Structure 1
Amino acid sequence: MTDSKVDNAKTDSGQPDGSRRKFLKGSLAAAGGVAAAGTTLVGAPYVNAQSPIVLKMQTAWGGGNIWNDFAREYVDRVHSMSGGRIQIDLLPSGAVVKAFQVMDAVSDGVLDIGHDVPVYWYGKNKAASLFGTGPVWGGSANNMMSWWYAGGGRELYRELTQDIMGLNVVGAFGFPMPSQPFGWFKDDDVTSVDDIQGLKYRTVGLAADLLQEMGMSVAQLPGGEIVPAMERGVIDAFEFNNPSSDSDFGAQDVAKNYYLGSYHQASESFEWLFNRDMLESLDDDLQAILLHAVEAASTSNTATALDRYSSDLESLQTESGVTVHRTSDEILAAQLEAWSTLIPTLE
């Protein structure tokens, strides 16, 4: 046969070989197209075509405060756990409302999430201090956290905020804080109860009642107002919370004596506030992520705090000329006695 005869030879089916080649080439091309389309179809369910849910969250802390870093740890975990379905716009105190207004802003829907401490709404109901600056009964913030999650604390909080106060919020607690220092004084010899009589002092919550019982004149101010108040002579001394937060807003610039150890705030934790309507509008898995991320952030916050608080305390001494004192036994004993006097008045 000639080559042309070979090309035109018929198969048993009567179809020329050349046509078979064309058929095979066409079939392969079609199969490739189907395969590509199949890949797209199979992959489609894993692509989240919806826009992320963007939530507005404000803290009660000034822009430079380490506690905004702690709030960021929460935001990052929500983003990761939700696969990007939830994005949180994190804002510092004052971006939308002032520090003491976070609770109301969340309840009213101005904010979706708030990050504060319960004593910041102590003025609305003194029972707020049961969840942060309550009486010292030998427990710690870790004990209080256990009570919140396993001992009925969460249910009492819901009853207080929703049933009694009529607020449209859901709360969650995390990061059990170390017992807080007595604070910052200009005097390097604060050792007796007489030394603090009439002293104008900043604290918050039920601790204000406690220290007034001891003879101090107390002003309740958010952290961002402490240094200006010291500079203007509105207060003579103050406490806030820890070496890192205190140094972040410049405590070392207005006082050089830092007294550690106190019973005025021994069991405080962060409070996460969620607008109830917003939370309940989400799918169940996203609601769970927002709430369980509090527990995840609580662990990371604790690790970060233990590292930073210790190194910043050292820096205050070596770089800022701060003298660290141990609060005297007389003052500590007087605090416990004042608690015993104060508690019956709250019943």
Structure 2
Amino acid sequence: MSETKKPVSRRSFLKTGGLAAGAAAGALATPAIVSAQETMTLKMQSSWPSSDIFQEMAKQYADRVEAMSGGRLTVDLLPAGAVVQAFQVQDAVADGVLDAAHTVTAYWYGKNKAASLFGTGPVFGADASQILAWIHFGGGKELYAELVQDILGLNVVGFFALPMPTQPLGWFKDEITSADQMQGLKYRTVGLATDIMQGMGLSVTQLPGGEIVPALERGVIEAFEFNNPTSDRRFGAQDVSKHYMLGSYHQAAEFFEIIVNKDLYESLDSDLQAILEYAAEAANTANYGLAMDQYSKDLQALMSEDGVNVHRTPQAIMEAQLESWDTVLQDLTQDAFFKKVVDSQKEWSERVAFYSLMNQADYKLAYNHYFPGKLDS
């Protein structure tokens, strides 16, 4: 007996076929949905005390990672000293003791002085924003990876955020009017700034921010710089010194370094890797906005409420700094990798700073036009 086949209507096919396809798709999609709902918590420590504005900036990064990942990545952000000391976070991340850290390259410059070129290097006319652009577009990212992974063999990957405003020359017992006054001063700074300030005759000690005031109280240092009016005011600089010198070439192009354990990073899905990287760029904007708002407020408060005398560092001192940079570079560029980084930055600065300096408006002229006498008061 032969079987008579019934014709299948298009509506029936679409209905049954659609259900079957939907069921199959659902079976395939279910594991992905479960995976997307899984969360991983990254243990991240900064190099900053919990009270420092830098810790707030680190949190701006952590918040963006969590939001951009839809909660798949959460960040347990800890302050300096919670697991390791401020200068030890790089080793802790490389060894897997920490998953990530928020720091600056100058804090591990003892491993290789070229580290300081990725944040506290010489000034060839380009500012911090332009040197951060060199990181992304001028070969800096590749040179950083070569230093960290190939030369030092460290199990980390790193990203950068916040082109920092020029860091003040610092806090002194008296106004500094000439380089001669600085001879023999016991002074705190970090990174290559150590070399250039020593070249100017200062006795330099490297300390994390949280140790500065205790060192002043013990007489270990007599003068210091940290970074900005907000950080300085929060740890009480105004209580131990009353003369604040603004403007310097010792650290005029720094930014944060955000590092992640390389094995952990490479184990993540590609979208999460991208989030860890590009959240640094998102934090850039948030960090800078917070800095402009808070730094300017605290500078005014230092003057009006705390009795601090704010001075512009004389040009003669900055010229002396440039001469000291020349000597330091002559020495350190004997190292082939150090020279390669410096040459790259110099080539970038010659082109980029030329454009910027030739093109930018005279902001000081405009400020004096609308707020006459304030800069000279």
Match of 1:148 in 2: 135
2:79 paired residue number: 92
- How far does residue 301 in structure 1 lie from its aligned partner after superposition? 0.4
Secondary structure of 1:178's aligned partner: coil
Report the residue type matching 1:166 in the other structure: G
> Which residue among 207, 224, 228 is the counterpart of 2:210?
224
The amino acid of 1:300's aligned partner reads: A
Instruction: Establish whether residue 340 from structure 1 lines up as the match of residue 326 from structure 2.
Output: yes
Q: 1:46 deviation in Å?
A: 5.8
Unaligned segments of structure 2, at least 5 residues: 1-22, 334-377
Say whether 1:241 aligns with 2:221. no
Q: Which amino acid aligns with 1:61?
A: W
Aligned to 2:69: 82
SS of equivalent to 2:157: strand
Letter aligned with residue 204 of structure 1 = V
CA distance in 2, matches of 1:88, 1:261: 35
Counterpart contact for 2:36–2:72, Cα < 8 Å? no
* Alpha-carbon separation, structure 2, partners of 1:63 and 1:336: 35
Q: Pick from 39, 57, 60 the counterpart of residue 44 of structure 2.
A: 57
Q: Normalising to structure 1: TM-score of the pair?
A: 0.86
Determine the structure 2 residue equivalent to 1:131.
Answer: 118
Q: Are 1:72 and 2:69 matched, yes or no?
A: no
Q: TM-score by structure 2 length?
A: 0.79
Deviation at 1:49, TM superposition (A): 7.7
Q: Distance in 1 between matches of 2:80 and 2:68?
A: 26
Q: Does 1:287 align with 2:266?
A: no
Q: Distance in 1 between matches of 2:36 and 2:179?
A: 65
Deviations 1:248-283 (A, max 9, x none): 111111111100000100110000001000100111
* Equivalent in the alignment of 1:275: 261
| Distance apart, 1:51 and its partner CA | 3.8
State the alpha-carbon separation in 2 of the partners of residues 76 and 136 from structure 1.
33
Aligned equivalent of 1:303: 289
User: Aligned letter for 1:319?
Assistant: E
Residues 307-326 of structure 1 correspond to what in structure 2 (within 5 A)?
A: 307-326=293-312
CA distance in 2, matches of 1:329, 1:292: 38
Say which one has the larger Rg.
1
Count the aligned residue pairs. 307
| Residues 80-109 of structure 1: per-residue CA shift (max 9 Å, x gap) | 111111110000000000000011000000
What is the alpha-carbon root mean square deviation over aligned residues? Answer: 1.6
The 5 Å alignment of 1:136-285 reads 136-187=123-174, 189-285=175-271
Instruction: Report the Cα distance in structure 2 between the residues aligned to 1:170 and 1:249, rounded to whole angstroms.
Output: 31
Residue type of the alignment partner of 2:315? D
For 1:16, the equivalent position in structure 2 comes to: none
The secondary structure found in structure 2 opposite 1:344 is: helix
CA distance in 2, matches of 1:80, 1:341: 47
